């Protein structure tokens, strides 16, 4: 055969990969299946030529070779044989509604589970045995009644709609719910599981959740009961209809029967729904898991309460702590403010003192300079008043800092000229700065 | 000088044809000088020759002529007998013979009671004898056509034809002067008919052969590997075939007739036989056209009946039955442990395969990549009614020169029984997802060993050193659920809310490879830029593996062996 062309590239050889002769054997093939090749076609003949190689195979080898060959053909329905009830063989085909179609085909143990192919094979098997031509050949009567039963059974079971109608009323496929005693004796799960498995055949939703066991989780159990309390069933009851007369003569009668059938179907459906509900109720009542989950839930609730209380307590404590903390912070702040205020007071005092002191220096400076009268002269009372008034006037207008600066300039000076010129400068500065008017002073700065 | 015997055959000369022998129809085919298979028409021009024999006043009628005797001479008409050969009455289904001579017990075999020599003389004729007469007629038609006596044949039979049935057929055929060189299975014959076409190439593929006949339908899933065929599963259904489709039309027309005339033509054997024959013709016409008519002279109570039906109506009436064909095929695929995604080809064989709806339904069952070989899905498809006969003729041409002993030995289980690989073998290549290698199969699963497959691989753009990882690949079906986009929501009218509920989430199925056992690693160094690497895998009968790899056009290369598995578990699964 031609080589396959692959356009995706081979991977790059990993760094450091090294093997003897660049080949590394790792595994072996999985085992193989023995099968027959069809002895047909030119390629097979070439294969046969190679394989035979002038050899002749024996009968023994034939048997040996065939021993393990995988079989392709089915056994003829080995799984669908069951003894035939002699009473069933005498059934009248006219009474097909009363017949167990599965039993007729030998599928009693499969019922609604039987596959289409099983039904077909079962049918064939029954036909092979009961075909009327064979009975005639065997010299028995021309009675083909059971053969008709077989045909009817097959017709119904191979038609999905008819089969559902029959399966709906196939009591033999149902499992009765266990009595309390039975449930106790066999165990809850063992006795109830088959009941639900059987009921599950009516479910439109498949697969149907299983009853489970003691290890099922709460979610699983809840899902199970939820499912069954909301069961969506395809079960219907037309199979049990009364025959509708099919002649056109009696229309009223026909309509009457139809109405009756319809009502009966509805009634049966309602009853069936109620039946199932009651069944689920009973099961749930006996389900120890439900009780256990309730207890656990109760325990869970207590736990929750304790947790809640603890939380509340903690919250309270936290609140108190927070309040305390706030208080502490508040106090701290207060203290700091206090300290700050105290600090301010001191500074003010100091400033006041400084001002006082500086005022003294200023006043003292004119006094020391003998009120700025020329040397040898006596300062008259008026002169003293005027100078001191000027000093007062200046002091009233200037800031403490200016005062301090002025005081520092005047400090230690006694000579009238010097003191006078400093005052003069200061007054001139103040007049320039617009802080005092030229006429505010009478002596100083003149 | 060779001794010339009857029909121009030299002594010892074998002149073989292919025969398909069905319950409903038989066909004869030969191969031309160029090895092409052709179906032979008999004197009446039929290529599908009804497997019917009928006797009127000692005279034998065959084929279509015999079939038409179902109306007037049903008791002396033998039909649908192939499956009875080599069986006893207990194990046969007499149903198909309801309207012709009934099978009866005769010693340990089946026979018919008919007036085949002269009127009023009831003879018991065994099914073997009937078969002999039928094959004699077939061989004589072929001899007339070929101008040379036919004295041998390859005959196609169902896969579940038992040893006893085969023996009986061999004997009956021999009695007709036709030596059975080999019996081959019908589905394999169909595959061979396609593979023998000159344009066909040998490829590994998974094939479903659906042989849909008149009284039965047989499905086979076949692994075709290097031109050799292995059957993986088969299914047989005796309730889903052409006769059931005829019945649907019979019922339809009978009801129509009853509406006007009150009489049910199905209650009278003769009327029913007439209606059946015509209904079958109508059914065949519906395979070709959109409309078909039916007319029966004096159907019942001396009243003529004529009607028409269109294909849509027919497909509606037969819808359920068509669904059963589809399910049958789906089941066979499952039975082989395969998915529809695994199937490369569906070969539709048998007369009922002409039905357009059956093949278009299959187009929906299988993915678009699956080729559906039928007249209504593929213009180049071979006539499905002729596939078995063609395949048989090709096989006949291949072995007619063989000694008997050679054929016997070549078909011996020591030759045919062979281990088939469970998993594919392949090489990892680089895909978009750089970290994970992508498995590329070289040897498909279900390949018979010994076998040898090769692949030529690209390398990274710059060339250089590459690694070849050989492993087993396990086919997996990946299912992703895609939520169906809810169309237009509530704004739309309520009327289509029903549809919405039925729309379930769409499942997208995909075939993917899981990397199984790693078998070996090999390095090829210094591959040229743009170079290629060829990897060859050789699997021995003992499942030992030899791997070789080399740069295409380069020197040397790597070679290594893997031991056979320690325990060869046998395949009785
Ligand atoms: N063109 C067609 N369209 C539809 N059905 C057809 C067509 N041609 C033949 N058939 C039907 O095919 C059936 C016969 O199939 P076939 O010739 O393959 O018979 P067979 O192999 O002898 O079958 P079996 O052994 O199952 O009876 C009949 O039911 C016939 O009506």
Residue with tokens 């704004």: B491
Are residue A76 and residue A123 in the same domain, yes or no?
A: yes
Locate all alpha helices (DSSP H) within B440-530, ordered by sequence.
Answer: 497-502
pLDDT of residue B573: 36
pLDDT tens readout for residues A361-410: 888 888 887 887 777 777 788 888 888 888 888 888 888 888 888 888 88
Final residue before a domain boundary, out of A112, A141, A172: A172
Q: How far is CA A211 from the centre of its chain?
A: 24
Mean pLDDT of chain A: 85
Ligand 1 within 6 A of B278 CB?
Answer: no
- CATH 3.30.420.40 correct for B201-240+320-380: yes
Region B384-411: mean pLDDT is 94
B545-551 and B532-539 beta bridge pairing: antiparallel
Residue B113: helix, strand or coil by DSSP? strand
Is the residue at A179 inside a domain? no
Region B187-213: mean pLDDT is 96
Instruction: Kindly report which listed range (A35-49, A326-340, B216-230, B290-304) carries the lowest average pLDDT score.
Output: A326-340
Is the residue at A76 inside a domain? yes
Residue with tokens 């040998």: B202
Confidence of residue B496 (pLDDT cuts 50, 70, 90): very low
**Which residue range forms the structural domain that includes residue A259?**
187-299
pLDDT of residue A321: 93
Instruction: Kindly report which listed range (A141-145, A150-154, B121-125, B262-266) carries the lowest average pLDDT score.
Output: A141-145
Q: Which residues contact B166 (CB under 8 A, 6 or more apart)?
A: B86, B157, B183
Query: Ligand 1 test: best mutation among B95, B138, B242, most atoms within 8 Å of CB?
Result: B242
Are residue A312 and residue A425 in the same domain, yes or no?
A: yes
Task: Establish if B468 touches chain A: CB-CB under 8 angstroms.
Answer: yes
Would you list the DSSP string of A64-124? HHHTTPPP-SPPSSGGG--PPPHHHHT--GGGGGGS-HHHHTT-TTTGGG--HHHHHHHHH
Task: Establish if B528 touches chain A: CB-CB under 8 angstroms.
Answer: no
Residue whose CA lies nearest to ligand 1 atom number 10:
B351
pLDDT of residue B570: 46
Three-state helix/strand/coil letters over B228-270: EEEEEEEEEECCCCHHHHHHHHHHHHHHHHHHHHCCCHHHCHH
Confidence of residue B497 (pLDDT cuts 50, 70, 90): very low
Whether B315 has a pLDDT exceeding 80, the answer reads: yes
pLDDT tens readout for residues A425-436: 888 888 888 887
CA nearest B161 in A: which residue? A73
Ligand 1 atom closest to Cα of B351? 12
Q: In angstroms, what is the span from residue B242 Cα to ligand 1's centroid?
A: 6
pLDDT of residue A221: 86
Q: How far is CA B44 from the centre of its chain?
A: 27
Helix axes A188-199, A251-285, angle to 10 degrees: 150
Query: Ligand 1 test: best mutation among B218, B352, B376, most atoms within 8 Å of CB?
Result: B352
pLDDT of residue B7: 65
pLDDT tens readout for residues B149-172: 999 999 999 999 999 999 999 999
Contact A133 B525 (CB under 8 A): no
Contact B420 A34 (CB under 8 A): yes
Is the residue at A123 inside a domain? yes
Ligand 1 within 6 A of B214 CB?
Answer: yes
Contact A236, A273 (CB under 8 A): no
pLDDT of residue A422: 84
Query: Which residues on B lie below 8 Å from A26 (Cβ)?
Result: 518-521
Whether B269 has a pLDDT exceeding 70, the answer reads: yes
Q: Smallest CA–CA separation between A301 and chain B, in Å?
A: 40
CATH number for the B419-478+510-569 domain, one of 3.40.50.150, 1.20.1280.290, 2.60.34.10, 1.20.120.80?
2.60.34.10
Contact A27 B521 (CB under 8 A): no
Final residue before a domain boundary, out of A137, A172, A207: A172
Residue with tokens 């509530």: B490
pLDDT of residue A446: 67
Ligand 1 atom closest to Cα of B211? 18
Locate all alpha helices (DSSP H) within A200-250, ordered by sequence.
Answer: 218-229
Query: Which residues on A lie below 8 Å from B195 (Cβ)?
Result: 41
pLDDT of residue A77: 52
Identify the residue among B229, B321, B333, B540 best suited for mutation to test binding to A, counting A beta carbons within 10 A and taking the highest.
B229
Q: Smallest CA–CA separation between B211 and chain A, in Å?
A: 16
Query: Which residues on A lie below 8 Å from B182 (Cβ)?
Result: 39
CATH number for the B242-317 domain, one of 2.140.10.10, 1.10.10.10, 3.30.300.30, 3.90.640.10?
3.90.640.10
pLDDT tens readout for residues A220-242: 888 888 888 888 889 888 888 88
Q: What is the CATH number of the domain that holds A93?
A: 1.10.287.110
Q: ipTM of the assembly? A: 0.90
Contact A47 B228 (CB under 8 A): yes
pLDDT of residue A79: 58
- Which of A75, A74, A70, A77 is CA-nearest to residue A33? A70
Contact A22 B522 (CB under 8 A): yes
Locate all alpha helices (DSSP H) within A131-247, ordered by sequence.
Answer: 132-137, 145-158, 160-168, 180-186, 188-199, 218-229
Ranges of residues in chain A with a pLDDT under 50 are: none
pLDDT of residue B547: 96
Whether B499 has a pLDDT exceeding 60, the answer reads: no
Query: Which residues on A lie below 8 Å from B200 (Cβ)?
Result: none
Mean pLDDT of chain B: 91
pLDDT of residue B397: 96
Is the residue at A354 inside a domain? yes
Identify the residue among B75, B325, B411, B413 best suited for mutation to test binding to A, counting A beta carbons within 10 A and taking the highest.
B413
Instruction: Kindly report which listed range (A99-103, A356-360, B8-12, B352-356) carries the lowest average pLDDT score.
Output: B8-12
pLDDT of residue B490: 46
CA nearest B392 in A: which residue? A40
Query: Ligand 1 test: best mutation among B19, B23, B25, B235, most atoms within 8 Å of CB?
Result: B25
Identify the residue among A5, A15, A33 best suited for mutation to test binding to B, counting B beta carbons within 10 A and taking the highest.
A33
Task: Establish if B551 touches chain A: CB-CB under 8 angstroms.
Answer: no
pTM: 0.77
Ligand 1 within 6 A of B25 CB?
Answer: yes
Contact A35 B89 (CB under 8 A): no
pLDDT tens readout for residues B420-446: 999 999 999 987 765 677 899 999 999
Neighbours of B404 (CB within 10 A): 10
Q: How many CB pairs under 8 A join A and B?
A: 326
Region B499-504: mean pLDDT is 49
Are residue A406 and residue A319 in the same domain, yes or no?
A: yes
Is the residue at A17 inside a domain? no
* Helical (H) or strand (E) element with B196: none
Whether B61 has a pLDDT exceeding 90, the answer reads: yes
pLDDT of residue B494: 45
CA nearest B414 in A: which residue? A65
| Exposed / middle / buried, residue B26 (Cβ in 10 Å: 0-12, 13-18, 19+) | buried
Ligand 1 within 6 A of B354 CB?
Answer: yes
Are residue A295 and residue A312 in the same domain, yes or no?
A: no
Is the residue at A345 inside a domain? yes
Ligand 1 within 6 A of B18 CB?
Answer: no
Are residue A104 and residue A206 in the same domain, yes or no?
A: no
Ligand 1 within 6 A of B452 CB?
Answer: no
pLDDT of residue B493: 46
Domain ranges of chain B: 4-185+390-415, 201-240+320-380, 242-317, 419-478+510-569
Query: Domains in chain A: how many in total?
Result: 3
- CATH 3.30.420.40 correct for B4-185+390-415: yes
Identify the residue among B88, B106, B410 best suited for mutation to test binding to A, counting A beta carbons within 10 A and taking the highest.
B410
Ligand 1 within 6 A of B355 CB?
Answer: yes
Contact B409 A56 (CB under 8 A): yes
Contact B451, B225 (CB under 8 A): yes
User: Which comes out higher in pLDDT, residue A369 or B174?
Assistant: B174
């Amino acid at each position: 055969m031609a080589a396959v062309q692959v356009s995706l590239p081979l991977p790059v050889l990993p760094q450091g990969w090294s093997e003897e002769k660049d080949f590394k054997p790792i595994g072996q093939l999985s085992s193989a299946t023995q099968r027959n090749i069809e002895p047909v076609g030119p390629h097979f003949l070439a294969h046969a030529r190679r394989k035979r190689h002038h050899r002749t195979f024996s009968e023994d080898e034939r048997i040996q070779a065939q021993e393990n060959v995988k079989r392709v053909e089915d056994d003829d329905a080995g799984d669908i044989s069951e003894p035939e009830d002699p009473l069933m063989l005498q059934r009248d085909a006219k009474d097909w509604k009363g017949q167990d179609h599965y039993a007729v085909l030998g599928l009693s143990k499969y019922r609604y589970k039987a596959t289409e192919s099983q039904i077909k094979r079962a049918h064939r098997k029954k036909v092979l045995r009961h075909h009327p031509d064979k009975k005639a050949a065997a010299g028995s009567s021309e009675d083909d009644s059971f053969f008709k039963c077989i045909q009817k059974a097959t017709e119904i079971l191979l038609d999905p709609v008819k089969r559902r109608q029959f399966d709906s009323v196939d009591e033999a496929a149902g499992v009765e719910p266990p009595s309390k005693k039975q449930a106790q004796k066999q165990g809850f799960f063992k006795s109830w599981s088959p009941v639900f498995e059987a009921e599950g055949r009516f479910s439109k939703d498949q697969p149907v959740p299983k009853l489970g066991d003691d290890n099922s989780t709460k979610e699983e159990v809840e899902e199970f009961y939820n499912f069954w309390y909301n069961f969506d069933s395809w079960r219907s009851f037309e199979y049990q209809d009364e025959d509708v007369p099919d002649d056109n003569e009696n229309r009223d009668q026909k309509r009457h029967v139809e109405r009756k059938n319809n009502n009966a179907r509805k009634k049966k459906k309602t009853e069936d729904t109620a039946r199932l509900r009651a069944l689920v109720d009973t099961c749930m009542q006996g389900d120890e898991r439900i009780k256990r989950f309730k207890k656990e839930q109760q325990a869970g609730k207590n736990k929750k309460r304790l947790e809640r209380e603890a939380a509340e307590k903690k919250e309270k404590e936290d609140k108190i702590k927070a309040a305390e903390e706030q208080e502490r912070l508040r106090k701290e702040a207060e203290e700091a403010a206090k300290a700050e205020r105290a600090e301010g007071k001191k500074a003010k005092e100091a400033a006041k003192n400084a001002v006082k002191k500086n005022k003294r220096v200023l006043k003292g400076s004119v006094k020391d300079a003998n009120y700025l009268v020329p040397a040898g002269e006596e300062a008259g009372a008026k002169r003293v008043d005027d100078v001191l008034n000027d000093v007062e006037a200046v002091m009233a207008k200037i800031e403490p800092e200016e005062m301090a600066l002025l005081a520092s300039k005047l400090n230690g000076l006694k000579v009238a000229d010097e003191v006078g010129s400093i005052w003069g400068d200061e007054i001139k500065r103040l007049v320039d700065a617009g802080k005092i008017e030229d006429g505010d002073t009478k002596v100083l700065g003149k | 000088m060779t001794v010339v015997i009857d029909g121009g055959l030299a002594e010892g000369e074998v002149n073989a044809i292919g025969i398909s022998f069905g319950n409903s129809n038989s066909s004869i085919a030969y191969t031309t000088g160029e090895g092409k298979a052709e179906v032979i028409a008999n004197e009446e021009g039929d290529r599908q020759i009804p497997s019917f024999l009928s006797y009127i006043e000692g005279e034998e009628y065959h084929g279509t002529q015999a079939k038409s005797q179902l109306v007037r001479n049903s008791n002396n008409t033998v039909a649908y007998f192939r499956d009875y050969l080599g069986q006893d009455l207990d194990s046969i289904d007499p149903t198909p013979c309801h309207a012709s001579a009934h099978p009866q017990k005769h010693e340990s075999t089946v026979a018919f009671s008919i007036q085949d020599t002269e009127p009023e003389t009831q003879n018991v004729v065994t099914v073997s004898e009937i078969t002999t007469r039928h094959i004699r007629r077939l061989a004589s038609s072929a001899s007339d056509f070929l101008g040379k006596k036919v004295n041998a044949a390859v005959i196609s039979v169902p896969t579940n034809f038992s040893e006893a049935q085969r023996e009986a057929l061999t004997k009956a055929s021999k009695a007709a002067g036709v030596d059975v060189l080999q019996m081959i299975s019908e589905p394999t014959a169909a595959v061979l008919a396609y593979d023998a076409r000159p344009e066909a190439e040998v490829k590994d593929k998974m094939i479903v052969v659906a042989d849909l006949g008149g009284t039965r339908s047989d499905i086979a899933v076949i692994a075709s590997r290097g031109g050799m065929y292995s059957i993986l599963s088969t299914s047989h259904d005796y309730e889903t075939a052409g006769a059931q489709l005829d019945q649907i039309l019979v019922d339809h027309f009978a009801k129509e007739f009853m509406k006007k005339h009150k009489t049910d033509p199905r209650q009278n054997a003769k009327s029913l036989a007439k209606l059946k024959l015509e209904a079958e013709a109508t059914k065949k016409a519906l395979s070709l056209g959109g409309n078909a008519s039916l007319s029966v002279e004096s159907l019942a109570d001396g009243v003529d009946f004529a009607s028409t039906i269109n294909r849509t109506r027919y497909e509606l009436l037969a819808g359920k039955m068509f669904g059963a064909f589809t399910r049958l095929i789906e089941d066979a695929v499952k039975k082989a442990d395969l998915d529809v995604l695994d199937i490369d080809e569906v070969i539709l064989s048998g007369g009922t395969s002409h039905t357009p709806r059956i093949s278009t339904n299959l187009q929906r069952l299988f993915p678009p990549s699956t080729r559906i070989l039928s007249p209504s899905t593929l213009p180049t498809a071979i006539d499905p009614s002729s596939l078995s006969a063609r395949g048989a003729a090709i096989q006949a041409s291949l072995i007619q020169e063989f000694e008997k002993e050679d054929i016997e030995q070549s078909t011996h289980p020591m030759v045919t029984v062979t281990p088939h690989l469970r998993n594919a073998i392949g090489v990892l290549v680089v895909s978009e997802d750089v970290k994970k290698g992508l498995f590329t199969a070289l040897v498909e699963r279900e390949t018979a060993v010994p076998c040898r497959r090769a692949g030529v691989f690209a390398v990274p753009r710059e060339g250089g050193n590459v690694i070849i990882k050989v492993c087993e690949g396990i086919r997996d079906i990946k299912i992703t659920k895609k939520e169906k986009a809810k169309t237009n929501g509530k704004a739309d009218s309520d009327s289509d809310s029903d549809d919405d509920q039925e729309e379930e989430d769409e499942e997208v199925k995909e075939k993917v490879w899981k990397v199984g056992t790693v078998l070996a690693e090999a390095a090829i160094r210094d591959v040229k830029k743009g170079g290629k690497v060829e990897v060859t895998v050789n699997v021995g009968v003992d499942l030992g593996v030899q791997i070789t790899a080399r740069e295409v056009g380069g020197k040397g290369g790597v070679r290594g062996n893997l031991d056979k598995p320690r325990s060869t578990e046998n395949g009785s699964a």
